[in-house]
Chain A
Amino acid sequence: EVKLVQSGAEVKKPGESLRISCQGSGYSFTTYMIVWVRQMPGKGLEWMGRIDPSDSYTYYSPSFQGHVTISVDKSLSTAYLHWSSLKASDTAMYYCTRGSGDPWGQGTLVTVSS
C-alpha cells in the first residue's frame, strides 16, 4: 500500500523554528515529487511548493518563497517542511502529497500562539 505518513501536531510560539515531516512507503520514493499544501482554518488549499527527491530540486510558490524550506532525506524516504521563524499566520493544517496527487498524508496541524 502506498502511504504518506506525517508527523504529529505541533504547538509553537511566534519566532520559534519548526520542521515537520512526511514519510513515504510502499513505492520508490525518488520516483515521485513531494508537494506541500497549506490549509488555513476554514479556508481552501494552497500549493506551497514541491521537491524532487531524486536530486532535491525545489520549486516554491511565490507566496511561500523565502518563508519556508522544503528538503528531503532519500535514505529515510522522508520530506520535510521547515520554518526558521514562525508567525501566528502560519497556523494551519499542512498536507503532503505525491506529485501525482495521490495519496495524501493525514495532515499536520501547526498552531502558532503566544
Chain B
Amino acid sequence: SSELTQDPAVSVALGQTVRITCQGDSLRGYYASWYQQKPGQAPVLVIYGRNNRPSGIPDRFSGSSSGSTASLTITGAQAEDEADYYCNSRDSSGIIWVFGGGTKLSVL
C-alpha cells in the first residue's frame, strides 16, 4: 500500500479549474512532484519542488502544499490534460520514495 493517498478519479468541465490532491504524513517535511501519464506513454514531470514547472509545461499547471496535503491545480483545463496524474515524494523514512496511487482526470 502507498503512503501517499490520491482520489482514484476526478472530473472537470472544459476550461474550468480542478485540484488533484495527495495526502501523506511525509508531505509535512518533503515536497511532492507531480507526473502526467497519458495512455501508452511514459510519465512526464509537470511540477516539482515548491511550485516549479519544467520547460515546456503550460503555466496552467501549478502546485501547492499545506500540512500533509500536496495539490496539483490545473487552471482552465484543456482536453489534452485528460490523463492519469501521480504524486511522488519521500516516505516516512525519508530515504525511500513512493508514488501515490494515481488520479484519473476526465475533462468533460
A→B interface (CB under 8 Å): 35, 37, 44-47, 50, 59-62, 95, 97, 100-107
Is A47's CB under 8 angstroms from B95's CB? no
Count of inter-chain pairs, beta carbons less than 8 A: 51
Is B88's CB under 8 angstroms from A101's CB? yes
Is B102's CB under 8 angstroms from A45's CB? yes
B→A interface (CB under 8 Å): 2, 33, 35, 37, 42-45, 48, 54, 84, 86, 88, 95-102
* Cα(A22)–Cα(B14), bound, Å: 38
Is B98's CB under 8 angstroms from A101's CB? no
Contact residues in B for A97 (Cβ distance below 8 Å):
43
Is B35's CB under 8 angstroms from A47's CB? no
Is B43's CB under 8 angstroms from A47's CB? no
Is A106's CB under 8 angstroms from B42's CB? yes
> What is the predominant secondary structure among interface residues of chain B facing chain A?
strand
Contact residues in A for B95 (Cβ distance below 8 Å):
59
Is A45's CB under 8 angstroms from B48's CB? no
Is B96's CB under 8 angstroms from A104's CB? no
Q: List 27 A-B contacts (CB under 8 A).
A: A35-B97, A37-B99, A44-B84, A45-B35, A45-B37, A45-B88, A46-B99, A47-B88, A47-B97, A47-B99, A50-B97, A61-B96, A61-B98, A62-B96, A95-B42, A97-B43, A100-B45, A101-B35, A101-B45, A101-B48, A101-B88, A102-B45, A102-B48, A104-B43, A104-B44, A106-B42, A107-B42
